[in-house]
Amino acid sequence: MARLTIVRAGPLMTVQDLGRPNHRREGVSLGGALDRQTARVANLLVGNPETAALLEITLGPAILRFPDRRAIAWGGGDFPLQIEGTEIAAGRAACVHAEEELTVGPARRGARVWLAISGGIDVPPLLGSRSTDLRAGFGGLAGRALGDGDELPLGGTGRPNQTERVATWGAPADWTQTSTRILVLRVVRGAEWPDFKAEARAAFLRESFVVRPQSDRMGARLAGLELRRSAEIERLSEAVVPGTIQVPNDGQPIILLGDCQTIGGYPRIAHVITVDLPLAAQLRPNDAVRFREVTLAEARAFFVERENDLDRFRVGIRLRTL
Amino acid sequence: MEIIPLGDSALLVRVDDSLGEVLAAARKLEAAKIEGVCDIAPAFASVAVFFAAPRDLAASAAEIQRALRRRSRAGSKSLKPSLHQIPVCYDPEFALDLAAVAKHCRRSPNELVKRHAAAEYRVRCVGFAPGFPYLSGLPRELATPRRPTPRVSVPAGSVAIGGAQAGIYPLSSPGGWNIIGRTPLRLFDATREPAALLRTGDRLRFITINRDQFEQWPA
């Protein structure tokens, strides 16, 4: 079986797909690529099913060596990505040959990229997914982050649809370059929104918050104006989801990301809307972030619009590969 | 009962703080086959309903309301909770906080173990970590506050007391509960179906085993 060599893994590289959406009653996190949209688009560009496993690469620099000819495509933060010195733009399928090396990063802006490889990463699925659950230690390669010298099994390529070095056609840039200089995340109100003082609610939607270093795939921890509640009420733990913004007693919000727990007891001031989760996945320490409130109807409309765009993109891909 | 949005793709159904209410609601929601639902997860006094994508949550909430008003026909007999016998070794090497808990409760360690193993427990919720059961039924006199500083790593299988609740750490993880023993059972195994040994509503008893039995317990 063809094996991809991780020559250099960088700070954090994991195998991910679209995660485990139906095991929460067992306490299993959703997990998966923190930017599901980019994961799907990158897979489509190389002719994979959208659910194929790919690499989530944090910050870089990382180096991969290929066993045979493959199509690759990537998206996410603003990273340099090169195959043997040729720069490959985000959202463009590219061809990499046997024994060639692909280098990723270091990041210019943003935190993560998703790299799809034709054939996908063929580790065994567990609970319906190949995603690495780092906290619980299962999935991906032996339930852990990839290290230098690791080898990953690749699936069969079938008919590689990419033979030129870089495709002349690709995905829209705003899909595949998701890091922006001033980040505004759109949110809907959380269950405990009314429990916060009026000043705290106003500050939450006005002030900038800075990402703290203790951030990971479970959550982006922020620092800023202290968000106080009118009364400190202890609550029974209830469900939380990726995008939930919870505020522990220190008043400093945490944006939960894909590997977050299934339940939590901290008050939920707001939730990042689904279409903006890819932006939250690009936050890295010292980045600034602000929040803007939208309605549930708007959140849904943004999602429907993006899905319609993605549908057209799928049709476009199919027409090109006939 | 109230239904509130949890972001743009999930709804939280709040019920009374009672295991019976939670289980009944979860059962009705499962049976209702509500459109677009990808997961249903019970907690202590709520059931979360997750959708595969953002949708009209007001319409889904109305559908949930209708489902919950239905008389449950899925007879309780078919869903009788399982009773698990969980072997526990209270050996001092495993029971990192047994002495401290005994002191707090003003009982001898032997007395504490006897009372802990004599009670019947119920799984109120599975969460915190994959397969972690929050257990009700801890004898009141054994309630002990969590440790002021959580341990960086609690060994897998650790049987614990956190306030008025009991629990078992399925995987090695950080944790602040008091450790009084260890089970050789694997509470969570992703290669198994279902992966979690215990489910919300299950009944449970601890059976005392000695160190030899622990070491020889079949994997």
Q: What is the ipTM of this complex?
A: 0.94
Q: Does residue A117 sit in the same domain as residue A61?
A: yes
- Residue B37's identity, in one-letter code, is V
Continuous H helices in chain A: 36-45, 173-176, 198-206, 277-280, 296-320
A161: confidence class by pLDDT, cuts 50, 70, 90: low
In a domain, A315, yes or no: no
B37-89 pLDDT tens trace: 999 999 999 999 999 999 999 999 999 999 999 876 655 545 677 899 999 99
Give the contacts of A206 (CB within 8 A, at least 6 positions apart).
A290
E strand or H helix at B65, and its extent? helix B57-69
Q: What is the CATH number of domain B2-77?
A: 3.30.1360.40
Q: Where are the domains of chain B?
A: 2-77, 83-216
In a domain, A306, yes or no: no
> Does B54 sit behind a cis peptide bond, omega within 30 degrees of 0 on the bond before it?
no
- Give the CATH number, domain containing residue A261: 2.40.100.10
Domain hosting A72: range is 3-177
Q: Does residue A28 sit in the same domain as residue A157?
A: yes
Which residues of chain B have a CB within 8 Å of the CB of A191?
Answer: 4, 6, 12
Distance of residue A262 Cα from the nearest chain B Cα, in angstroms: 6
Domain count along chain A:
2
Domain boundary among the residues A125, A159, A177 is at: A177
A246-261 pLDDT tens trace: 999 899 999 999 999 9
pLDDT of residue A302: 97
Residue A274 to residue B17, Cβ atoms within 8 A: no
DSSP B91-160: -TTT-TTHHHHHHHHTS-HHHHHHHHHHSEEEEEEE-SSTTPEEEE---GGG-BPPPSS-EEEEPTTEEE
B2-77 shares its CATH topology with B83-216: no
The residue with greater pLDDT, A181 or A88, is A88
A40 in contact with chain B, both atoms CB, cutoff 8 A: no
User: What architecture is the B83-216 domain classified under in CATH?
Assistant: Beta Barrel (2.40)
Q: Does residue A26 sit in the same domain as residue A169?
A: yes
Q: Does residue A43 sit in the same domain as residue A151?
A: yes
B186 in contact with chain A, both atoms CB, cutoff 8 A: no
In a domain, A278, yes or no: yes
Q: Does residue A188 sit in the same domain as residue A171?
A: no
In a domain, A220, yes or no: yes
Q: Does residue A165 sit in the same domain as residue A53?
A: yes
In a domain, A318, yes or no: no
Q: Does residue A105 sit in the same domain as residue A187?
A: no
